[in-house]
Amino acid sequence: MRAIKILSAVGLTVAAMFALGPEAAERRLPEPVMEPPEASGGVLVVDLVDGSTPADLESIGALIETDLEWVHPLAEDEALASGEVASYAAAMAALAGHPLVEVVESEVMLEALGYPNDPMFERQWNMQAIGAPAAWSGSARGAGVVVAVVDTGVTRVEDLEGTSLLEGASFVPGVTSAADDQGHGTHVAGTIAQTTNNGLGVTGVAPDATILPVKVLSAQGFGSSAWIAAGIDYAVDEGASVINLSLGGGYSAVIHTAIKKARAQGVVVVAAAGNSGRRGVGYPGALEETIGVSAIGPDGSLAPYSSYGKGVDIAAPGGDKRRPNGGILQNTVDGRGGHHYAEYQGTSMATPHVAGAAAVLLSEGIPSEAAERILLRTAEGAGWNEQYGNGTLNLASALGLTATQHNLYRFLLGGLFALLITQLADTRVGFRLTTSAVASSVAGGVFFLASAPLPESVLTQLLIHPLLEWPGVVIGPGWMHFPLWLSAALPVGIGFTLGAFGPTRALAAGLACGVAAHLFHGAATGTLEPWWLPTAMATSWLAVNGALAIVIGMGLAGAQHIEERGGE
């Protein structure tokens, strides 16, 4: 009976941890209804089912009496094609319900959302406004996270010299390089990951992140829905964890499909709300699958140009150049073959603040869904409204929630598990207290030392971080989600080594309880995401292995009880 009561208490504690998981914000939008296409013709975009062959493409083209071509060689795996048709209505009617066609629509043109200018200033009010220095002062700087800038391209200007910048690709016809020929994309990339602490220029939100340039907008700042959709597909294929879409316009089903596929792969997609200055969020920012971003000025109020309404999820600094030094300053190309430090304003400038913040959380080992929830939950605001969404971006609070709340829960839960199993085994008080202390430390790490003046080193980071996060410290953030590491295999190994000897048995039992606490917490909050496993299976995996770790801890405590009784 005593054992049943204690195990019930453990079960209730775990259930409470699930209840503490952050709730996703309400972002339900109706599926957009496309207006009937006009009888006139133009470029038709056809998204065939993945794996379609050139022969399939030719047969579809024959049905609508045109030569369809893949949008780009890199878009062939996603079977995205386009071609000129005499009548949109006739072509779309001919392809309606065809088993090889996922989406068909007339080409939609989108544009960059921002207003460039070139005055320079000495400080970046926007970085202070979102609490970015909190990330720079610690280890959370976006390391190991690829952010795709789907825009006018990115050029390595002087203050991007120290930033990890991939080669990328261009989807603009006739342009082979992903270099920026307009300035917008490089400015956006700078806000995300401008080289920081280099004694030059300005800063970025996630300076250790890797930028993937994806050129989908021309030198004039416009881009076809086909180019943009192909660019999004490419970014996913290249391993981007975050996609920044500082562009907008009308609804495109092709772009929507590409974004859905990106989200299915766990990619965070951040998009601008638009610069209409009135109610009505542009696409793709209005989609449920994207984090829609409105813009604020230096005083924290909504910028006069910012769109607002359903679809806004969060607000971030976008600038207001009516005020002195009120724009967003970054290093970008100047259109004359050189570069300059220029203030831009727009929801385009607000969006990369959120993309950079997402990269920071992902670099801390937070899964994409949880990272999005944390950003929205910690935004400064009093509930959702149509101007600011869930509130204004606060990276410092997001990091605080990540590092303190989660670690504290694990810290306390691990100690509770240890006290329960050692009480059940009726071990001596000294063994109980030692086990509890070890369990608490390994569950949450000695996280309260994070603000202490300790030397910057791997050993310091191992001391601060929980045991299950150590692969993320030593190898890279993704490695802490390796399934066998997130299992009872580690407590089993500990049990057969440290648990085999009396002097280290309390340490082994504490480690098992600490691992159990982290596994249960990860299952409850979504902060642990084992590779290859879908969400429901991952939750079950973590919970079952957490229970096994508890059983191992109980076995170690029982062995200690037998040894103590044998010595009396």
Residue 344's φ and ψ, nearest 5 degrees, are: -115, 165
Alpha helices, DSSP H, located in 37-99: 54-63, 88-95
Q: Measure the CA–CA gap between 442 and 446, rounded to whole angstroms.
A: 8
What is the secondary structure of 249-294 as a DSSP string?
BS--HHHHHHHHHHHHTT-EEEEE--S-SSB-PPBTTTSTTSEEEE
**Cα separation values, 134 from 146, 282, 394, 424, 538, Å:** 21, 32, 10, 43, 31
- DSSP letters spanning 514-548: HHHHHHHHHHHHS----TT--HHHHHHHHHHHHHH
Contact 491, 557 (CB under 8 A): no
**119, 343 contact by CB (below 8 A):** yes
Helices 535-566 and 406-424: angle between axes, nearest 10 degrees: 40
Spatial strand order in the sheet of 69-70: 69-70, 80-85, 42-48, 101-106
Determine the Cα–Cα distance for residues 190 and 329; give it in Å rounded to an integer.
9
Contact status, residue 553 vs residue 425, Cβ threshold 8 Å: no
CB 273 within 8 A of CB 312: yes
Contact predicate 418/433, CB 8 Å: no
Report d(CA 517, CA 441) in Å as an integer: 11
Structure-token pair, residue 216: 């989908």
DSSP 440-505: HHHHH-SGGGTTS----SHHHHHHHS-GGGHHHHHT-GGGGG-TTTSSTHHHHHHHHHGGGSHHHH
Query: Residue 3 burial by CB count (10 A; 0-12/13-18/19+): exposed, middle or buried?
Result: exposed
CA dist., res. 121 & res. 127, Å (int): 14
Active-site positions?
Answer: 151, 184, 348
| 522 close to 528: Cβ distance less than 8 angstroms | yes
Whole-angstrom Cα distance, residue 312 to residue 293? 6
Nearest Cα neighbor of 152 from 126, 186, 175 is 186
State the DSSP string of 303-322.
PTT--BSTT--EEEE---TT
Closest CA to 107 of 214, 235, 258, 251: 251
| Amino acid letter for position 379 | A
